[in-house]
C-alpha cells in the first residue's frame, strides 16, 4: 500500500481547502476506498477525512416536507430510522439489501453515491482499464461480461454502477447537495452520475474539491410510500451486488395507475430511471399486462455489451415483479432480508 498523508477537516470549507493538494481524496466510511487502496487499485497521496465535519450526520425534515439526509448519515442508521423508512420504504429496503450489517454501519450516504464500479478488470489493478488508466483500453470488452452493462455503455467502458441505494433515489426524484469552491449547488441524482462516453474516468459531475453534503428526497415522493418496493436479483441471497435490480413505485386511482416510478440498478454506469416507462403506465389499468408493456418500453434501447443479453429480459421481468409487489402494498415492516424474487409472494395484480 502506498504511503499517504492524512488530514482531518472540521468544516466543509476546511475539507475543500485540504482537497486542493495534488492527489487528495475525501475519506468517509472508507468501506470502498480503503479496500481499493489496499489492493493498490487507487493510490491517493492524501486522505482528507471528512467524518468529523460538523452538521453532516443529521436526517432533517425540512419546512417544505422534504427530507434532507446528511452525507455522513450511515447507511444502517438511515435504513432503520422509523420516520424515514415510513416515508421512503423502497429506499430503506434498498439500503438493507446492500453489503452486510457491519458495512452498512460504516458506509455513509455520500460515500454510497461515490462508490466505484466492481468491474473485475478495474478492481484487479492490472488489466487494461480506461477508467483506472485513461486511454489504456478496456479488457472487459470481449472478456467476462456476464455482469456488465446493457444500457448507456460505450466502447470505452461497459461497467455498471454498483449502488442499491441510488436506484430508488433516482426513481423518487432525489437531489444531491454539493459544496464547492463556487459555493453550494444542487444536482438531480439522475444527472449526478455520468455515462462513460469516451471519458469513463469521469464518473460524476463533481468538480475537483467538490464535497457532497446531503441527499434530499422531495415531499411528493413520500406519496408513493404505500406502494413501493426495491427488488434485487443477485448471485447469492446476501452480501452480493445486483445482477439486476429495480425500484418500482405506484400511486393508484382506483384500479388504475395515477403515477408510476421506475429505475433499474445493475444495467448501466448510473442508476437508470425510465421516464418513458413511467409515462407509458400513467392512466393505465394496474395489471401485469400494463407493467409488462412499461417494462418493454424501459428496455427498448438495451443491447448486450457481450455475453449478457440475458440481462435485458431479466430486467423486464424484475420490473414487472417489482410493480406487482408494489401494487399489493408495501409491507408494514421492511423484511430483515429484503425482497428476493425467489421468496416473495407475487402479490395480487390481476392478470389481463
CB 168 within 8 A of CB 241: no
Torsion of CA 34, 124, 272, 212, to 10 degrees: 20
Q: Which stretch binds ligand SF4 (CB under 6 A): 132-140, 174-182, 282-290, 310-318?
A: 132-140
Q: According to CB under 6 A, which one of 122, 165, 230, 323 is a site residue for ligand SF4?
A: 122
Closer of 144 and 220 to ligand SF4 (Cβ): 144
| 159 touches ligand SF4 (CB under 6 A) | yes
- Contact between 40 and 33 under an 8 Å Cβ cutoff? The reply is no
Residues 92 and 79 sit within 8 Å (Cβ to Cβ): yes
Q: C-alpha dihedral over 216, 221, 224, 226, to 10 degrees?
A: 50
- Cβ of residue 47: shortest distance to ligand SF4, in angstroms? 23
Q: Among residues 85, 55, 48, which one has the least CA distance to residue 71? A: 55
Nearer residue to ligand SF4 within complex by CB, 129 or 211: 129
Q: Which is nearer to ligand SF4, 157 or 322 (CB)?
A: 157
Nearest C-alpha neighbor of 159 from the set 196, 206, 194: 196
Rg over alpha carbons for the chain, rounded to the nearest Å, is 20
Residues 58-117 that bind ligand SF4 (CB under 6 A): 117
Helix (H, G, I), strand (E, B) or coil at 269: coil
Binding status of residue 147 toward ligand SF4 by CB under 6 A: no
**Binding span for ligand SF4 by CB under 6 A among 22-30, 96-104, 151-159, 272-280:** 151-159
Beta-carbon count within 10 A of 172 CB: 25
Among the residue ranges 90-98, 153-161, 177-185, 240-248, the one whose residues contact ligand SF4 (CB under 6 A): 153-161
Pairing of strands 211-217, 175-180: antiparallel
Does 145 sit near ligand SF4 (CB under 6 A)? no
- Neighbour tally for 103: CB within 10 Å: 16
48 touches ligand SF4 (CB under 6 A):
no
Nearest residue (CB) to ligand SF4, 78 versus 158: 158
Pick between residue 27 and residue 119 the one whose CB is nearest to ligand SF4. Answer: 119
Binding of residue 119 to ligand SF4 (CB under 6 A): yes
Question: What is the spatial distance between Cα 264 and Cα 271, in angstroms, rounded to a whole number?
Answer: 6
In the complex, minimum distance from the CB of residue 149 to ligand SF4, in angstroms, rounded to a whole number: 8
> Quick one: 105 or 123, whose CB is closer to ligand SF4?
123
Among 131, 161, 261, 316, binds ligand SF4 (CB under 6 A): 131
Q: How many residues sit in the footprint of ligand SF4 (CB under 6 A)?
A: 15
Q: Which three cell numbers stand for residue 305?
A: 455489451
* Contact mark string toward ligand SF4, 185..204, x via CB under 6 A: ---------------x----
The answer to whether 98 and 108 have CB atoms below 8 angstroms apart is no
On whether the CB atoms of residues 251 and 259 are closer than 8 A, the answer is yes
By the rule CB under 6 A, 268 interacts with ligand SF4? no
Residues engaged in binding ligand SF4 (CB under 6 A): 117, 119, 121-122, 127, 129-131, 138-140, 157-159, 200
Amino acid at each position: 500500500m502506498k504511503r499517504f498523508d492524512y488530514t482531518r477537516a472540521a468544516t466543509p470549507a476546511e475539507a475543500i481547502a485540504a482537497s486542493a493538494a495534488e492527489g487528495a481524496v475525501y475519506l468517509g466510511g472508507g468501506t470502498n476506498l480503503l479496500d481499493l487502496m489496499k489492493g493498490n487499485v487507487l493510490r491517493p497521496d492524501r486522505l482528507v477525512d471528512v467524518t468529523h465535519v460538523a452538521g453532516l450526520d443529521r436526517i432533517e425534515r425540512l419546512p417544505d416536507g422534504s427530507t434532507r439526509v446528511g452525507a455522513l448519515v450511515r447507511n444502517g442508521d438511515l435504513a432503520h430510522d422509523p420516520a424515514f423508512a415510513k416515508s421512503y420504504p423502497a429506499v430503506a429496503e434498498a439500503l438493507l439489501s446492500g453489503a452486510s450489517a457491519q458495512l452498512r454501519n460504516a458506509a455513509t450516504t455520500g460515500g454510497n453515491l461515490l462508490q466505484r464500479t466492481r468491474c473485475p478488470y478495474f478492481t484487479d489493478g492490472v488489466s487494461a482499464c480506461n477508467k483506472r488508466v485513461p486511454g489504456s483500453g478496456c479488457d472487459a470488452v470481449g472478456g467476462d461480461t456476464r455482469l456488465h452493462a446493457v444500457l448507456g455503455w460505450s466502447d470505452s467502458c461497459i461497467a455498471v454502477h454498483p449502488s442499491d441505494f441510488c436506484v430508488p433515489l433516482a426513481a423518487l426524484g432525489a437531489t444531491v447537495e454539493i459544496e464547492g469552491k463556487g459555493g453550494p449547488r444542487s444536482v438531480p441524482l439522475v444527472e449526478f452520475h455520468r455515462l462513460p462516453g469516451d471519458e469513463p474516468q469521469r464518473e460524476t459531475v463533481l468538480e475537483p474539491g467538490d464535497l457532497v453534503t446531503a441527499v434530499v428526497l422531495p415531499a411528493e415522493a413520500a406519496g408513493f410510500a404505500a406502494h413501493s418496493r426495491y427488488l434485487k436479483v443477485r448471485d447469492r441471497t446476501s452480501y452480493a451486488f445486483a445482477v439486476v435490480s429495480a425500484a418500482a413505485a405506484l400511486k393508484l386511482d382506483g384500479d388504475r395507475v395515477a403515477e408510476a416510478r421506475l429505475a433499474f440498478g445493475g444495467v448501466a454506469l448510473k442508476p437508470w430511471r425510465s421516464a418513458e416507462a413511467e409515462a407509458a403506465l400513467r392512466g393505465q389499468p394496474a395489471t401485469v399486462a400494463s407493467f409488462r408493456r412499461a417494462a418493454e418500453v424501459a428496455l427498448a434501447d438495451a443491447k448486450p455489451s457481450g455475453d449478457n443479453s440475458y440481462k435485458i429480459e431479466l430486467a423486464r421481468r424484475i420490473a414487472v415483479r417489482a410493480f406487482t409487489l408494489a401494487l399489493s402494498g408495501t409491507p408494514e415492516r421492511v423484511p430483515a432480508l429484503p425482497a428476493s424474487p425467489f421468496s416473495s409472494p407475487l402479490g395480487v395484480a390481476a392478470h389481463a
